[in-house]
Amino acid sequence: MVSYKRLNPEEVNFSGATEDSGDAEAKTEDLERPLLEQRSQCSSTVALLTLGGLILVVLGVWLLGTVFWLRGPPSTEIHKPPPPVASPGQSREWDGGAQPESCTLIPEGWRFDCYPERGVVVNEEMCHKRNCCFIQVAEEKSPGQNGVPWCFYPPDFPSYELVTNNETEMGYRGKLVRRQKTYYPNDIETLQLDVLYESDSRLRIRVTDPAKDRYEVPIDVPVVKKKASNPLYTVEFTEQPFGLIVKRKQNGAVLLNTTVAPLFYADQFLQMSTSLASEFVYGLGEHRSNFLHDVQWNTLTMWTRDAAPVELTNLYGVHPFYLLMESDGLAHGSFLLNSNAMDVVLQPAPALTWRTIGGILDLYVFVGPDPSSVVGEYLEVVGKPAMPIYWALGYHLCRWGYDSSNNTWDVVKKMRNNQIPQDVQWNDIDYMDRALDFTHDPVNFATLPDLVKDLHIHDQHYVMILDPGISSTQPAGSYLPFQEGIKQGVFITNSSGDLLIGKVWPGLTAFPDFSNPDTHEWWYQNLKTFHDQVPFDGLWIDMNEPSNFLDGSVDGCPSNDLENPPYTPAVLGGSLRAKTVCASARQKLNSHYNLHNLYGLMEAKASASALKKLLKKRPFVISRSTFSSHGVYSGHWLGDNRSQWKDLYMSIPGMLTFNILGIPLVGADICGFSATTTEELCVRWTQLGAFYPFTRNHNTKDSQAQDPTVFSPAARKAMTEVLLLRYSLFPFLYTLFHHAHLSGHTVARPLFFEFPRDLKTYKIDKQFLWGKSLLVTPVLAPGVDYVVGYLPQGIWYDFYTGDSLVSKGEEIKLHAPLDKINLHLREGSITPTQRPNTTLWVSSSQPLHLIACLTEDGLAEGDLFWDDGETIDTYETDQYAYFIFRLKQNTMTSEVVHSHMEATYITVETVSFYGLKKGPTSVTVNSQEASFIYTTNQVLKVYDLGLNLSQNFTISWVS
C-alpha cells in the first residue's frame, strides 16, 4: 500500500537551515512548502556546520531545525511532521521484529497516540500488535497529565483512500474506502465524504456511513442549498491516504490539515487529527484551566459530569469548539458537531486530535478572519444567545442553608435597610418539602408566597432551584409529578424498557426524558401548578448532567457495548455510568449513550419554553450543564467553586471561555460556594463579580453567611459602591447583550479580541474587557493595595477621574486600595451610564450620563440599545430604540437610528469629555449656551442638559 505521505527532513526548510536549491519536488509541490519562515542562521550553528563533515552537517541541520520548529513561532505553511516516507515494499506485519527506522525519525511533538487507553502501561509487544511504533520516553510529568506517547502511528499506518471525488452543487462528494482493518472493532469500510462550501467564511465537512444512518446531534443548524460564491478558503485533497487541507486564501495559512495522522471510523471509535497553525488555542469547554489551553500533551475530556471544578477533569458542559489565534493576528475556529463522549488531545507539534465514540464526523471550519468574526460564525451555526430580561443583569443573592423563608426574608430586608442593590433573591433545595420538586416546605417555608409577593412589591424578583430527579417513593397518589409522569411515559427507562431508578436528594428518583416532547408539556404543567402557589420569576436548573448518587441505577447497568465501549474517554470515575444514569438507558430520541451530553440543553429548552408560556416575558434560566447552542435558552454559572483566591482568579478564564462559546450570561458564585470566605476575599470577589455578566453571591449551608450585610461597615460600603457602579453601567451592559443577541458578539471579552496583533494579550486572563472599551483589572491576591495590569497601546482613561494614561503596550502598577477596582476606558469610545439605584427597575428610568473618551484626533463613538426590558423579541418586532453617538471636530451628535416610545422616558443629564486638551470658551447644546466645567486633568463636563433621548441633539464647543 502507499505509505502515509509526510515530509522528509531534507524537504523541510527549518529555522536555521538553508534551502536545498536542488530539491525541485519541494519547490514545485505546494503541499511541501516550508514549515517556518526563514531565519538567519546562528553563528554557533554555522561554526558546527563548517567544522563537521557531510554527515554532521545533515544531522546538525535536521536536529537544530527540529528544535526550532517545535519551539518556534507558528507558521502559515502546511504543518506536517518530518519523518520519511516508508519504503514502498516495507512490511507492516512486524510480529516482534525490528520496527522500521522511520519510527525513530518522528519528532516527539508529532507522535500521535496509538494506545490512548488510560490506566494501561504500554509495552513494546502490546504496541507492535497494533502495528505501531514504540519508543519509551523518560520524562518528568505532572500527576494526571499525559506525556509523549510511547506507542504512536508509523508513517504507513493504514487509513482510508479517496477513490472518487465529484463536484456537487455545494462542493464535493467523495467515496472513502478502508482496505485494511484497524485494532478497534467494526470498522466502517466505506464512507461518504461531503465538503460543503456553506458560506464565504464557513466550510462544513461531513463524513458519514452511506449504507446506514448513524446518530446525529438533534440541534438545528443552517441548511444551505447554495454554494459560497467567493470563499475565503481553498480545499485540497490527498487521495492515498485520504486527507484534507484547508488554507486561508489571503495568506496561505493552513487552517486544517488532516494528513498528519490516520483517520479512524469504527462503530464506536472515530478519530481525526489536524495540525494547528499556532499554540494559541481557546474554547473546548467545560474545563477548569487557564483561558489559553496548554498544548503540552493535554487531553480535554468531554462527558457532562457533576464534579467540583478541578483541573484535568470533565465538568458540567460539553462544547467541542475551539478558537485559534494565528501568529499574524488573524483567527479561525473549528466545531465538531458531535455529542458523544470524546477526548480532545492537544500536543506540541502543535496539533489536535478529535476522538469520539459515536455519531458521525461533522466538522465546521470558521475562517474569521478576526476572533470576533469566528465566534459570530460559530453562533450562526448553533444559535445566538437570547436577549436577557433586564433584571437578569442585576445583583442576585442566594444561599443553600437559609433553612426558612423567614430567614431568607430577613436577609432581603437587611439588604434594603443597608441600601445595597439587589434585584433577585434565590432559594436552594432547602425550600422544598423533603427535596421534592414543585413543592415548598409547609412549615419552614410557609411564608414563601408572602416573601415573593413582597419582592414583587419592591420591584425585585424570585428564582428557585429545580433538580431533574423526581422522587419515585412517595405514597400512591400523593405526588402528582411522578404519578402523572408515569402515566404520560416521560421518564428515562433502562435497556429493558423498565423505569430507570437512580438516587438524588429526595432519595430514589426517576429522570425526566427531555428528548420527549411530551416531557416538555409535563414540565410546563408542573411549573404552572407550582407558580399558582409561589409566583416565581425564573428557574435555576441544577444537577442536570444528569447527576446521580449511584453509578447507573439501583439495579446497576447491563454489560454491553454501550456500557463498556471498546474505548472509553478519560472520564472521571472511569466509566460512562459513573455518577449518572446508564449509558444504555433509553430515551425517546435515542440511547443515553448518544444523548447524555445534551441532557442539560434539553432541560433548558423545556424550561425556557415553559417560562415564556407561563409568564409571557423573556425567560430567565440558569443551568449548570450545557452544550453548544445553550445560550439560545439559558445562562450558566461556573459550578461549585471554593472560597479561595485561586478560585477567584479561575473564574475569569471560565467567564471568558463561555463568552466565546456563545453563553455570555455567565458568572461564578461570588465569594465562593464551599468553605468559608474572608472579608478581604469577599470584598475583592464582589468587585470582580460586579463585572461578571451574571452576578450572584451564593454559598453552601456548611459555611458562614457571606451576603454583604454580615461584614464590617467598611466592607459593606465597598461592596455597595461597586454594585452601584455596576447598576450605573446598566445601559452599556444591556447594549452589549443586544449585540451578543443580534450578531453573536462577546460581552466579557479577552483583550486579544480588540488587539489581535499584540501577542502579549494572547495569554492574559487576569484582566478582561466589557465590549470594546471598558478594561477591568481586578485584584486577585490577598494583602495588597496595588495591581499590575497590562494596557495595550493607546490612550486609556481612568473611569472614575478621566485621568489619561498613554501606553506603549506595557504593564502598569495601579493603585488598588480595598475599596477600589481599577477600570479604564479606551480612547475613541462613548459609554452610556445611568444614575444608579438599588434595583434596576428604578435605575433604568434614571437620567443618562455619557462619557466620551477622545482619541489623539478628537474622535469617539458609542451606541445605546433600549426597550422595555422584558418583552420577547423586541428587536425582531421593532419594539426598540437605538442610538449612535459620535464625536468629531469639537462636536458630539446623537442620532436616533430607530425610535420607540420607551426612549421618551429617558433624558441625558450630563456628558463628560475625557482628554480634551484645551478648555473651551463656550459650549452650546442644540445651538443654546450650556453650563460646563473644565478641569486641569483635561476633562470637560457639560451638565443640566435635560435632553430627551428620543430626539437628536448636538453638543459643540469653541476652544
- Give residue-wise pLDDT tens across range 451-496: 999 999 999 999 999 999 999 999 999 999 999 999 999 999 999 9
Per-residue CA distances from 238 to 162, 257, 636, 809 (Å): 7, 10, 42, 44
Question: From the centroid of its chain, how far is CA 889?
Answer: 41
> In the CATH scheme, what is the homologous superfamily, with its name and number, of domain 160-382?
glycosyl hydrolase (family 31) (2.60.40.1760)
Residue 91 has pLDDT above 60, yes or no: no
Same fold yes or no, 160-382 and 847-958: yes
| pLDDT tens by residue, 222-242 | 999 999 999 999 999 999 999
Q: How confident is the model at residue 146 (pLDDT cuts 50, 70, 90)?
A: confident
Task: Decide which of 899 and 36 is more confident.
Answer: 899
Residue 352's identity, in one-letter code, is L
| CA–CA separation, 669 and 906 (whole Å) | 33
Is residue 585 a contact partner of residue 500, using CB atoms and an 8 Å limit?
Answer: yes
Nearest to 131 by CA among 169, 157, 105: 157
Is 4.10.110.10 the CATH number for 102-157? yes
Nearest to 651 by CA among 636, 632, 662: 636
| CA–CA separation, 346 and 355 (whole Å) | 11
Tell me the mean pLDDT in the region 570-583.
98
Largest Cα separation within the chain, whole Å, is 94
Residue 782's identity, in one-letter code, is P
Four-point Cα dihedral 72, 73, 74, 80, nearest 10: -10
Which DSSP state fits 591? B
Q: Is 23 a catalytic residue?
A: no
For residue 891 the three cell numbers come to: 462636536
SS3 944: coil
Task: Decide which of 48 and 895 is more confident.
Answer: 895
Residue 294 has pLDDT above 60, yes or no: yes
| CA–CA separation, 407 and 403 (whole Å) | 7
| pLDDT tens by residue, 238-289 | 999 999 999 999 999 999 999 999 999 999 999 999 999 999 999 999 999 9
Sign of CA dihedral 289, 293, 294, 298: positive
| pLDDT tens by residue, 829-868 | 999 999 999 999 999 999 999 999 999 999 999 999 999 9
| CA–CA separation, 169 and 556 (whole Å) | 50
Q: What is the pLDDT of residue 839?
A: 98
Tell me the mean pLDDT in the region 94-117.
87
| CA–CA separation, 556 and 494 (whole Å) | 10
Tell me the mean pLDDT in the region 920-941.
97
Q: What is the pLDDT of residue 94?
A: 60
Nearest to 548 by CA among 307, 288, 301: 307
| pLDDT tens by residue, 312-354 | 999 999 999 999 999 999 999 999 999 999 999 999 999 999 9
For residue 305 the three cell numbers come to: 459530569
Q: What is the pLDDT of residue 148?
A: 95
CA atoms within 13 A of residue 756's CA, in its CB half-sphere: 18
Is 2.60.40.1180 the CATH number for 847-958? yes
* Mean model confidence pLDDT for the chain: 91
Four-point Cα dihedral 251, 256, 261, 262, nearest 10: -130
| pLDDT tens by residue, 807-830 | 999 999 999 999 999 999 999 999
Catalytic choice (542, 707, 754, 909): 542
Tell me the mean pLDDT in the region 924-939.
97
162: CB partners within 8 A, 6+ apart: 174, 175, 176, 193, 237, 238, 239, 240, 242
Nearest to 627 by CA among 588, 601, 589: 601
585: CB partners within 8 A, 6+ apart: 492, 493, 494, 495, 500, 553, 591, 592
Per domain, the residue ranges of the chain are 102-157, 160-382, 847-958
How many other C-beta atoms are found inside a 10 Å radius of the C-beta of residue 60? 17
Percent of the chain with pLDDT over 70: 89
CA atoms within 13 A of residue 7's CA, in its CB half-sphere: 28
For residue 283 the three cell numbers come to: 474554547
Q: What is the pLDDT of residue 141?
A: 53
491: CB partners within 8 A, 6+ apart: 470, 485, 499, 500, 510, 511, 512, 513
129: CB partners within 8 A, 6+ apart: 183
For residue 437 the three cell numbers come to: 420538586
| pLDDT tens by residue, 727-781 | 999 999 999 999 999 999 999 999 999 999 999 999 999 999 999 999 999 999 9
Is residue 274 a contact partner of residue 295, using CB atoms and an 8 Å limit?
Answer: no
| CA–CA separation, 813 and 561 (whole Å) | 58
In what side-by-side order are the strands of the sheet with 768-770? Answer: 748-749, 768-770, 774-777, 822-826, 794-798, 804-807
| CA–CA separation, 7 and 9 (whole Å) | 6
Of all residues in the chain, what percent are helix, strand and coil, respectively (each to 5)? Answer: 25, 30, 50
Q: Is 213 a catalytic residue?
A: no
Q: How confident is the model at residue 84 (pLDDT cuts 50, 70, 90)?
A: very low
For residue 526 the three cell numbers come to: 408542573
Q: What is the pLDDT of residue 98?
A: 78
Please tell me the total number of residues recorded for the chain in this structure: 959
| pLDDT tens by residue, 766-806 | 999 999 999 999 999 999 999 999 999 999 999 999 999 99
Q: How confident is the model at residue 139 (pLDDT cuts 50, 70, 90)?
A: low
Task: Decide which of 95 and 497 is more confident.
Answer: 497
| CA–CA separation, 949 and 907 (whole Å) | 5
Residue 154 has pLDDT above 80, yes or no: yes
Is residue 185 a contact partner of residue 266, using CB atoms and an 8 Å limit?
Answer: yes
Specify which residues 324 forms β-bridges with.
281, 332
Nearest to 628 by CA among 220, 387, 333, 319: 319
Residue 96 has pLDDT above 80, yes or no: no
Nearest to 538 by CA among 421, 405, 389, 413: 389
Q: What is the pLDDT of residue 36?
A: 27
Q: How confident is the model at residue 145 (pLDDT cuts 50, 70, 90)?
A: low
Catalytic choice (267, 430, 437, 545): 545
